[in-house]
């Protein structure tokens, strides 16, 4: 009987010691900064009212001719876990433009390539404007500009 009592006392002491160690770590342990969901301010992005990260570069938003298309209403935004690049393409020619796969090349302020995304542009009739978009999981919103390149 004494042996069983001794084992019970040792077990209780061990539990008390373990509980004290855990409590000490919680009270005096590492003091981490609380995590926030704030978006880090970057040179070409701001946080929108809905919490998305939006590109603000005037160079990126500037309307232009690319690969024979008139490009307008350009947005680059981080929505949840995806980067969404959206734009209008207008066929200003007198003939239908066939569908094609292109690369969106994102460019930094110093002209260096920062990233690429694929975009399929469907057939566009003469005079027609379409809205198209490409999405990717990586965050490429903080870029200065872009260009379209035909895939080889």
The answer to whether residue 97 is domain-embedded is yes
Question: Residue 72 is part of which domain span?
Answer: 45-150
Model confidence at 35: pLDDT above 60: no
- What is the distance between the alpha carbons of residues 88 and 73, in angstroms, rounded to a whole number? 6
Q: Average pLDDT in the 130-138 region?
A: 95
Same domain, 122 and 86: yes
Residue scoring higher pLDDT (52 or 15): 52
Q: Average pLDDT in the 138-143 region?
A: 93
Q: What HEC string does 3-63 produce?
A: HHHHHHHHHHHHHHHHHHHHHHHHHHCCCCCCCCCCCCCECCEEECCCCCEEECCHHHHCC
Same domain, 114 and 80: yes
Structural domains of the chain, count: 2
Residue 85 near residue 143 (C-beta atoms within 8 A): no
State pLDDT tens for residues 79-125: 989 999 999 999 999 999 999 999 999 999 999 999 999 999 999 99
- What is the distance between the alpha carbons of residues 39 and 48, in angstroms, rounded to a whole number? 10
Model confidence at 33: pLDDT above 90: no
Model confidence at 26: pLDDT above 80: no
**Across the strands, what pairs with 100?**
121
CATH assignment of the domain containing 81? 2.60.40
Same domain, 27 and 52: no
Same domain, 78 and 138: yes
């Amino acid at each position: 009987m004494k042996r069983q009592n001794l084992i019970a006392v040792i077990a209780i002491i061990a539990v008390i010691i373990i509980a004290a160690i855990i409590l000490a770590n919680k009270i005096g342990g590492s003091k981490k900064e609380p995590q926030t969901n704030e978006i880090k301010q970057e040179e070409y992005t701001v946080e929108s009212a809905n919490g998305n990260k939006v590109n603000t570069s005037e160079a990126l938003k500037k309307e232009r001719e690319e690969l024979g298309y008139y490009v307008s209403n350009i947005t680059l935004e981080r929505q949840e876990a995806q980067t969404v690049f959206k734009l209008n393409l207008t066929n200003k020619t007198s003939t239908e433009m066939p569908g094609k796969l292109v690369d969106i090349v994102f460019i930094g302020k110093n002209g260096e390539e920062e990233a690429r995304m694929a975009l399929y542009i469907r057939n566009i009739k003469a005079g027609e404007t379409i809205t198209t978009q490409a999405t990717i999981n990586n965050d490429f919103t903080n870029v200065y500009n872009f260009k379209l390149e035909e895939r080889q």
